[in-house]
Each structure stands twice: as structure tokens, then as C-alpha cells.
Amino acid sequence: VSPSRLQQANAMLGLSRSGAFVLGPAVAGVVAAATNPGIVFVVDAVTFAVSATSLALLRPNAVAREGVRASFRSDLVAGWHELTRHTWLWVIVAWASTFLGLVVAPFLTLGPVVAKESFGGPAAWGVIAAGWGGGMLCGGLLALRWKPARPMVVCCLVSLLVAPPVALLGLRAPVALIAVLQVVAGAGMGFFAAVWQTTLQQQVPEESLSRVSAWDWMGSFAFLPLGLILAGPVSAAIGIETTLLAAAVWCVVSTLVVLAVPGVREIRRKDATAETPVAVAAVDPALVFGAPER
């Protein structure tokens, strides 16, 4: 896509994913009610064949690359060198790993438990999860229009919106309030996803983008599995309320630390005037928070 439309393209990708997260559970509910839950998984499996067929039918334009890839290891090393060359980039990736491991993982693991113990069961958790999906849609719409001059500063600030619903879940606040705050948090992270991908594509040389994106994903998800494993034992030791409140505190403290890094604050949006097409990534880590039990 042309540089002038890069953020809008990322926003549209985010809107399509968020829409699927909202529509998918509704369709699954109808199928489960009309047949049985097992049929839902059969339909889900068929959709992978549809996806594979769709990808096979794509005919992307060839992109000329300079040089010859020496080995998989050399690609990893080249991507690592490019990642560490940008302070703002490696700081954000390191922060994301702790964010997913210490904030997202406890929320996803303990949320259904709280819903069962205090809110009446799965329906309440469905409302909370739907709030996140709806918010992601709003964030994508916002990203279609607003291009912040200091993208990483705004991304850090909207990340703070995640803390309130996590804390209030631990405090067993009313479901409606948590769901509303989830809409707000989802909107922030939907906007974050589009702006982050756009900034990455603008700041990293195109020939290094896929390699840096690989490190972005590996780094960002590094602690999520461990966080999912430990959330249960930790909450059993110190309590669900304390665990979720600690997660909310970490969200705020870690985000403010990142915001204090000069390299993060100094990144400015690039207003490219050239119409040279830029490759757009098709996935983003932000969706993990609202994925169904992602």
C-alpha cells in the first residue's frame, strides 16, 4: 500500500479481525444451540481449509530482494541486529513480553474463575469478552482518522487503559462496569495495534521488516505461556484479588517506565509523500488480550 494509506490499511486489517472476534462467538453460540458443541469444532476445522484455499489463490506481486539469504541463522542474527539498533523497538518488545505474561495471562486465566464464583457463570465472562471485541472495533475506526505525531507516546498512554478492568475484576466490581471499561481498553489496544504496525513498517527498512517482526513476535510472547501456567498457582498462594491487583499495578508501572525512555518519546510519525508500496503485516499481538479461551 502507499505510505500515505499505511495506517488506514493496518486499521482495516484490525477491523476485519475485530469484527470476526465479535461475529465468531455469536455464530458459534447459534450453531451450538441448534446442534451440539461438538459441531462447532467441526465447523471451526472446516474454516482452516477455507483459509488455506484462500491463501493458495493469492497472486502477490514479486518483490525484488537484494543479496542472497545465507542461512536461517544468518536471518535471525540480521533481524536481532536491526532490532537492537532501535532503542524504542527493543524496549517496547521487552515491555510487551512482561505485559502479556504478567497482565494478560492472569486476566485470561482467572477471569472465567471470577465469573463462575461471583458473576453467575460463563454468560458474564462472555459479556466482558464481548466488550473487548467491541472496543477493538472502535479503536480500528479511530486509527482510520487519527495519526498521532508521537505514535509511541500515544501507544503507551492508551496501554494504561487496560489496568482499570483488570483491577476491578479482582475487586469483583459489577459486570456492566467491567464490560464498559473493557470497551475503553479494547479501543485503546485496537488503536495501539494499527499505530504500532505502521510505526514498525515506517521505521524499519523493508528488507529487514519480516526478520524484525519475527523477533517482535518471539519477544512479545516469550512470557505468555509461563504466565498462563503460573497464574493459577500464584492466585492459590496469594489470592485471586491480590494477583489481579498486582497485574494492574504492573500494567501502570511498566508502561510509565517505558514512557520515560527518551528513545520511545522521540519517535515521530513519518509523513511519507512517495507512493512506493509498503508491505503490511497481517497479524498483531494486541488481539491476544481479547481472544476467546486467546
Residue 273 has pLDDT above 50, yes or no: no
Residue 243 has pLDDT above 60, yes or no: yes
pLDDT at 6: 82
Residue 9 has pLDDT above 90, yes or no: no
Instruction: Tell me the whole-structure pTM to 2 decimals.
Output: 0.79
Q: Is 61 buried (19+), middle (13-18) or exposed (0-12) by CB count in 10 A?
A: exposed
Residue 276 has pLDDT above 50, yes or no: no
- As a whole number, the mean pLDDT across the chain is 86
pLDDT tier, 274 (very low <50, low <70, confident <90, very high otherwise): very low
The pLDDT tens digits of the residues spanning 21-41 come to 777 777 887 888 888 889 989
Residue 279 has pLDDT above 70, yes or no: no
The pLDDT tens digits of the residues spanning 170-201 come to 999 999 999 999 999 999 999 998 899 889 88
Q: Whole-angstrom Cα distance, residue 165 to residue 178?
A: 5
Residue 237 has pLDDT above 60, yes or no: yes
pLDDT at 290: 46
Q: Of 149-153, 235-239, 257-261, 281-285, which range is least confident?
A: 281-285
C-alpha cell at position 87: 532503542
Q: Whole-angstrom Cα distance, residue 219 to residue 26?
A: 33
The pLDDT tens digits of the residues spanning 215-229 come to 998 999 999 999 999
Q: SS3 of 129, please?
A: helix
72 vs 46, more confident: 46
pLDDT at 104: 94
**Secondary structure (DSSP) of 84-104:** HH-HHHHHHHHHHHHHIIIII
104 vs 140, more confident: 104
